[in-house]
Amino acid sequence: MADQQDNRDPQTKVTFAKEWLRHATDRVQSLALGEPRPRGDRPRIGLALAGGFARGIAHIGVIRALRNAGIPIDCVAGTSVGALIGAVYCAGVELNDMQRIAALTTFADFGRWTPSWLGLANNLRLERYLERFTPVKTFEQLVTPFAVAATDINAGVTVYYTRGPIGPPLRGSCAYPGLFVPIQFEGRTLVDGFLTAPVPVEGASLLGADITIAVYLEAGSLTTPRTAADVISRSFSIIQHHTDLAWRQQADIIIEPDVKSFVWDDFTRTDELIAVGEAATQAAIPEILKAFAADKNRPGLT
């Protein structure tokens, strides 16, 4: 007997898939906790932060604009620099302190050139760099639920970390292929999460988000590559640009700060990057509030 054809329109399929994932998440959490996940009087807002090296500083502006608008952030999932920004924010670090340290950052703060067969550099220094922001070392010490997205390069799948030490999975999530040496952790070989979760919307859902705000940072190509790192970054950006449909369908809101004019190591342009993140988020506030109100009225939420 032939399979029955699915004649639903694409938008209906996306809505069904999102509802299925929402209910599946509730079921998983119910099994893990032994009881249903409690529903509050408002939907839980999740933030999914993409990678982008220095461009990720724009995430600080996104968070600042959300807070200024009174929009709560109940959980965060991050990939690569999005994981770094997410970890620091979820540890309770003030945004002004994040901005100050970001402006003083250089590649040497988190990477060291050590050419080998597996990469041009290592990121062992990243854990020490994290200590400049916060003494927090485990997920359990964070004040806001947080997930790090990394890629198991052997299995070709996303691995989300929400428990235990933050440092190793964070380094794995930031281990850009070809640039940084892969990280060995808990029997897995980890590289940058962007390969399988460029914007970790699924991670926010797994943390219990009812509405997920995805923040994507598209790299530009306005200048000729200067270094091997530029070539690697530009190449993967092209691949990512053509394979980013899944997370877009899963996200409820998508914010895309215009960071095309910034290069991967533009840490000295911190203030500009934050301003770009704020502007893009302020423009999206009406859409976020609309989604917030719609989800709050969804049957079964309260």
| Crossing angle of the two packed helices 95-103 and 58-68, in degrees rounded to 10 | 160
Least confident of 180-184, 191-195, 231-235: 231-235
The pLDDT tens digits for 39-83 are: 557 899 999 999 988 999 999 999 999 999 999 999 999 999 999
Please tell me which residue in 80, 205, 233, 237 is annotated as part of the active site.
Answer: 80
- The DSSP letter of residue 140 is G
Active site residue 295: no
**C-alpha to C-alpha distance for 168 and 87, rounded to whole angstroms:** 13
pTM: 0.81
Tokens 């200024």 appear where? 68
What is the pairing mode between strands 75-79 and 146-152? parallel
Q: Is 225 exposed, middle or buried (0-12, 13-18, 19+ CB in 10 A)?
A: middle
**C-alpha to C-alpha distance for 285 and 19, rounded to whole angstroms:** 23
pLDDT bin (cut points 50, 70, 90) of residue 25 is: very low
14 pLDDT above the threshold of 70: no
Among residues 290, 270, 268, the alpha carbon closest in space to that of 278 is found at 270
The pLDDT tens digits for 79-131 are: 999 999 999 999 999 999 999 999 999 888 989 999 999 998 999 999 999 99
Please state, rounded to an integer, the average pLDDT across all residues of the chain.
Answer: 83
Please tell me which residue in 74, 152, 192, 252 is annotated as part of the active site.
Answer: 192
Among residues 206, 98, 108, 105, the alpha carbon closest in space to that of 148 is found at 206
Among residues 198, 209, 211, the alpha carbon closest in space to that of 253 is found at 211
Tokens for 185? 């952790």
Active site residue 80: yes
**C-alpha to C-alpha distance for 282 and 286, rounded to whole angstroms:** 8
Among residues 157, 170, 185, 165, the alpha carbon closest in space to that of 78 is found at 170
46 and 193 Cβ atoms separated by less than 8 Å: no
String of DSSP letters for 8-20: --HHHHHHHHHHH
The pLDDT tens digits for 252-295 are: 999 999 998 888 788 999 999 999 999 999 999 999 999 888 77
**C-alpha to C-alpha distance for 167 and 164, rounded to whole angstroms:** 9
Question: Once rounded to an integer, what is the mean pLDDT over residues 216-220?
Answer: 82
